[in-house]
Amino acid sequence: MQWQDLLVAMALVLVWEGLMPTINPSTFRSLLATLQKMDDKKLRIMGLSSMILGAFLVFIIKQQ
């Protein structure tokens, strides 16, 4: 993997994260309010699950 691939991946994350507030800002605000009310344990589990899923997808994609 080259540094350029990592930078492209990071740029795509920024594009993806910008979609929700651009398309539907009120729902995005509601989602943030819901996340703010969650306890730390649930947020950590969601974050860890997201990281594991992302690593798994990268592994699968790179195998092909």
Threshold 0.75, pTM exceeds? no
pLDDT greater than 70 at residue 1: no
pLDDT in tens, 18-61: 999 999 999 999 999 999 999 999 999 999 999 999 999 989 98
Q: How many domains does the chain have?
A: 1
Give the end-to-end CA distance of the chain in Å, rounded to a whole number.
14
CA distance readout (Å), 30 to 24, 33, 34, 57? 10, 5, 6, 29
Domain of residue 16 covers 3-63
